Amino acid sequence: MTKFTGKGVYGAVAVGKISVFKRQDIQVKRIRIEDTQAEIARFEAAKEKTISQLKDIYDMALKEVGEANAQIFEIHMMMVEDDDYNAAIAEMINGQKVNAEYAVAVIADNFAEMFSSMDDSYMQARATDVRDISNRIIACMSEQKDNNSFSDEKVIICADDLAPSETVSLDKEKVLAFVTAHGSSNSHTAILARNMNIPAIIGVGDEFLSQINDGDMAVADGFSGELIVNPDEELLSEYRQKQLDESEKKALLQKLKGKENVTLDGRRIDIYANIGSVDNIGAVLLNDAGGIGLFRSEFLYLENSDYPTEDMQFMAYRKVLESMPAKKVIIRTLDIGADKQADYFRLDKEENPALGLRAIRLCLSRPEIFRTQLRALYRASVYGRLGIMFPMITSVSELEKVLALCRQVKSELDSENIEYSENIELGIMIETPAAAIISDKLAPMVDFFSVGTNDLTQYTLACDRQNPQVEPFCDTHHEAILRLIEISAANAHKHGIWIGICGELAADTSLTETFLRIGIDELSVSPSFVLRLRDNVRKINLSE
């Protein structure tokens, strides 16, 4: 039994035989040529062939991993046609009278070297892309066949490194996992593996290839990043069980993808996802959420050392909206206070920050910060279906001020001739008892309510969320909380607006039926709970 450790880039387990990936091993020799014109013509022909192969790969990738990930092959095509790259190759053929293969190999090295020497790991990883396209051009000039013929069995592919085009071109029906000696989690191969849901381990180190053979039994653990070659029986059965559990779980979830969130007696509910950063969108899509019910905009502030500019925010909001075409995205405006702040806010220390100058109160006392965020949101609204949600509302007059600021931002944009959507939904969080109790007055002013159960619990039961000593007194199922939700729901529906729940309670499956009976229209939970909740909803019968 031998163990190699690298970095797992996709969490899943594979058990099977190893197949060592053999690259078309092209020996490029330097040959002196006389007819440079003919040599350049050969290069041009190979380039054309390369482009057409890349087009095929692009189409394949488009189907398998989606447009965003397929784009790398469009970039590859542009690299093949890059002026500098082509000029350098032609110059070398003409000037040194060498064969095209040799010229391509040398120039590829030069460009790859340029990327490798950059101080940014993303750009360093682009060296692989240059080598990949260059090898393809060289292969197109020589007549060699692909020597990776697998048996019918699925295998764990082991390689020194895999180029993106090689990853996509492999027959996925035959691949259990990828394990590579090199590569970074930034490499497109890693990204593609994640999108194809194939366990992948990268950066195992040079020595592993010399110690494995085709046909060796192995376990590739994408969670721990371990490749275990020739495992003992005990370990093997342990992993087989793990694999079985995983696949059962996956099958259950796969079964639920694309299905409706509908009870046995036909009551529908929307299940959306809560996220805190643009990076989580992949998980939202993977878990088939119907939209984003809570996008916490705090990360934009907490990750920066100064107030994020309007443009910076605009780009982030736009990215989220564009990633969720035709789906609702509800972005909550800044929700921070003295307990959770960035230094540049310079908030005074407070005795009781939960009851302090936070969330909408902070925004109303520093309207210039709020205005920047609202402008960015309104500008981004043309890229999707945006909802804006205001946290910690307690009174009608607060909400009036907020709505007046929104109107002001709109008229500013109008006078600057900047577009925004007319269909933005404006809503508030119901997270204070005050808001729930006067929800009849708040409902006519907005398009939706979203219940923040964490704060609603804290404020209703007078239980500090940060204090573990009061936890026993903090009954999240307390009747008072459920009654407040019920009041809010009734008032929402009376005024024809929808109501959702985006706090932790939304994911509590013991309450799903209660929420459905109250008439909650939407539940927003973390992405990994979406399908579980859907499973739960589909088993409920409200007519019983």
Partner 1 sequence: MKTFTYTIKDELGIHARPAGLLAKTAKALDSEITISKGEKTVGAAKLMALMGLGVKCGDKITVTINGGNEDASERAMREVLEDNL
**Residues annotated catalytic, as ranges:** 188, 502
CB of 172 to partner 1, least distance (A): 24
Question: How many residues make contact with partner 1 (CB under 8 A)?
Answer: 25
CB of 120 to partner 1, least distance (A): 6
CB of 188 to partner 1, least distance (A): 9
CB of 84 to partner 1, least distance (A): 5
Describe the crossing of helices 83-96 and 100-116 by its angle, rounded to 10 degrees: 130
In SS3 terms, 282-338 reads as HHHHHCCCCEEEEEECHHHHHCCCCCCCHHHHHHHHHHHHHHCCCCEEEEECCCCEC
Instruction: Indicate the burial class of 24 (C-beta count within 10 angstroms; 0-12, 13-18, 19 or more).
Output: middle
Rounded to an integer, what distance in angstroms lies between the CA atom of residue 7 and that of residue 221?
10
In SS3 terms, 140-159 reads as HHCCCCCCCCCCCCCEEEEE
Rounded to an integer, what distance in angstroms lies between the CA atom of residue 443 and that of residue 489?
10
x/- mask, partner 1, residues 504-533, rule CB under 8 A, reads: ------------------------------
- Tell me if 490 contacts partner 1 by CB under 8 A: no
Strands 226-229 and 2-5: antiparallel
x/- mask, partner 1, residues 108-137, rule CB under 8 A, reads: ---x--xx--xxx-xx--x--xx-------
123 versus 354: smaller Cβ distance to partner 1: 123
83 versus 479: smaller Cβ distance to partner 1: 83
SS3 content of the chain, % helix, strand, coil (to 5): 55, 15, 30
> Which H or E run contains 480?
helix 479-494
162 versus 511: smaller Cβ distance to partner 1: 162
Binding to partner 1 (CB under 8 A) within 292-321 occurs at: 309, 311-312, 315
Alpha-helical (H) ranges within 21-66 are 36-65
8 versus 164: smaller Cβ distance to partner 1: 164
113 versus 146: smaller Cβ distance to partner 1: 113
Binding to partner 1 (CB under 8 A) within 4-33 occurs at: none
Torsions phi, psi for 495 (to 5 deg): -100, 15
229 forms beta bridges with 2, 218
Asked if residues 292 and 326 have their Cβ atoms less than 8 Å apart, the reply is no
Closest CA to 503 of 460, 457, 451, 436: 451
x/- mask, partner 1, residues 45-84, rule CB under 8 A, reads: --------------------------xx-xx--xx--xxx
CB of 118 to partner 1, least distance (A): 5
129 versus 288: smaller Cβ distance to partner 1: 129
CB of 288 to partner 1, least distance (A): 26
Which positions touch partner 1 (CB under 8 A)? 71-72, 74-75, 78-79, 82-85, 111, 114-115, 118-120, 122-123, 126, 129-130, 309, 311-312, 315
